[in-house]
A and B are shown apart, each in its own frame.
Chain A
Amino acid sequence: GDSVTQMEGPVTLSEEAFLTINCTYTATGYPSLFWYVQYPGEGLQLLLKATKADDKGSNKGFEATYRKETTSFHLEKGSVQVSDSAVYFCALRLASAGNNRKLIWGLGTSLAVNP
């Protein structure tokens, strides 16, 4: 069935380190792909998205490229800050008309950035 797999956390980095959080998916057709971020004590908010193959989503220094050939949407940032400490969720939205636009979620990856 359709699914999203994220690398397990927690991930602990020092400030200014390079970040990669892996996300791979299984889905039929051409889903839309999303990264959401959840800061401590808050709800989720969209970080970036891509709606077709080879699209690159970017926001706040984070980037992810929709790779159809590897069914991946890995999240990257060149230099993390303490304020990036949060839980990051990868999600997909199926393209077929019958799915009612539900999101399929990964389990989340916790990131802690130390000064």
Chain B
Amino acid sequence: NAGVTQTPKFRVLKTGQSMTLLCAQDMNHEYMYWYRQDPGMGLRLIHYSVGEGTTAKGEVPDGYNVSRLKKQNFLLGLESAAPSQTSVYFCASSYKRQGDEQYFGPGTRLTVT
């Protein structure tokens, strides 16, 4: 099993450009999450999904959109990138049982200039 994979690993965007980050998991997990990690801020939840075709907002959803058309994939889109979106983005997935852990991808480092 590959676990949770993310593409790309690195990306540099100019302000106003758009991009999509792809997350894929092969563990048949129901739940998937997108986080951003910034120095001194810990992990902040952007959006999450509790199943195929469903998405919901997390703590910091503004400027991002997501889609979960297939159970194994969770896409994070930036329609018009801003320097404030410079961050490391992590995808995670989990089963829906209460005590189950989240499995993380390796992260995408995004810089917006």
Q: B-contacting residues of A (Cβ < 8 Å)?
A: 32, 34, 36, 42-46, 49, 51, 89, 93, 95, 100-103, 105-108
Contacts and interface: CB of A to CB of B under 8 A. Distances in A.
B12 interface: no
Contacts of A46: 101-103
Interface stretch (B14-22, B35-43, B63-71, B79-87): B35-43
B98 interface: yes
A44 B33 CA distance: 13
B50 interface: yes
Contact of B98 (A32, A89, A105, A108): A32
Assign chain B's interface to a size class: 20 to 34
Contact of A103 (B4, B102, B105): B102
Interface of B: 4, 31, 33, 40-43, 45, 48, 50, 56, 58, 90, 92, 94, 96, 98-107
A36 B48 CA distance: 19
B41 to A, nearest CB: 7
A93 B98 contact: yes
A32 B42 CA distance: 19
B48 A51 contact: no
Contact of B42 (A95, A102, A106): A106
